[in-house]
Amino acid sequence: MQLPSALLEQAVNEFSKLPGIGKKTALRLVLHLLKQEPEKVEAFGEAIVRMRNETHFCQRCFNISDSLLCTICANPMRRQDTVCVVETIRDVIAIESTQQFNGTYHVLGGIISPLDGIGPDQLHIEPLLKRAAGGAITEIIFALNPTIQGDTTIYYIQKKLQPSHIRITTIARGIAFGGELEYADEMTLARSLQHRMPVEQLKV
């Protein structure tokens, strides 16, 4: 694609570095910005740069934060004794949007995946163990994606936590609401049979 302006081309190149954005989409976005008021485009550029430069990771849970502690850790209404362990910030946002969890989080920053060269040391596992050793935590809920790597990560951390009186749980696995048995994989179906639950619990 030949572009008539070097500056335009540079902006298109920058946009097309983003995941899922090809050259054509990038051009569409850039031409859209070209039609906006200069102040609006400046606000756009500034918001992105500030977001990168001025956000931190929460000292306690590694969630993204504007200050030392994230809004969840700093909230006295949230239970500090219940910690939900997740892989990414995106998972925090997903769980928060259910409005069903009133504890705090711990963002690992990934899962143990030797094939991708990610071992325990690359993750925020050590700070989690320290938090647990502090004695204020009564339950750790693992909310990792149900894959072999996810299970390995849970197993590894659980081992490290022993001996301890902390209750260690994982989110329920089974057939998703609205899902169809016919299309469920064998592993999921087998586990959902194995962990069958009393019908009374279905009440919403």
* Cis, bond preceding 146 (omega within 30 deg of 0): no
> What is the per-residue DSSP string for 62-125?
--EESSSS-TTTT-TTS-TTEEEEESSHHHHHHHHTTT---SEEEE-SS--BGGGTB-GGGTTH
Among 49, 68, 133, 171, contact with a copy of itself (rule: CB under 8 A): 49
Name the residue nearer to a copy of itself (CB basis): 17 or 196: 17
CB of 4 to a copy of itself, least distance (A): 5
Name the residue nearer to a copy of itself (CB basis): 31 or 148: 31
Residues 72-111 interacting with a copy of itself (rule: CB under 8 A):
72, 88-90, 92-93, 96-97
Which residues have C-beta within 8 Å of that of residue 13, sequence separation ≥ 6? 26
Name the residue nearer to a copy of itself (CB basis): 48 or 133: 48
CB of 46 to a copy of itself, least distance (A): 7
* Spatial distance between the Cα atoms of 54 and 59, rounded to a whole number of angstroms: 15
Contact 145, 174 (CB under 8 A): no
**Positions that interact with a copy of itself (CB under 8 A):** 1-8, 10-11, 13-14, 17-21, 25, 27-34, 36, 38, 41-55, 58, 63-66, 70-72, 88-90, 92-93, 96-97
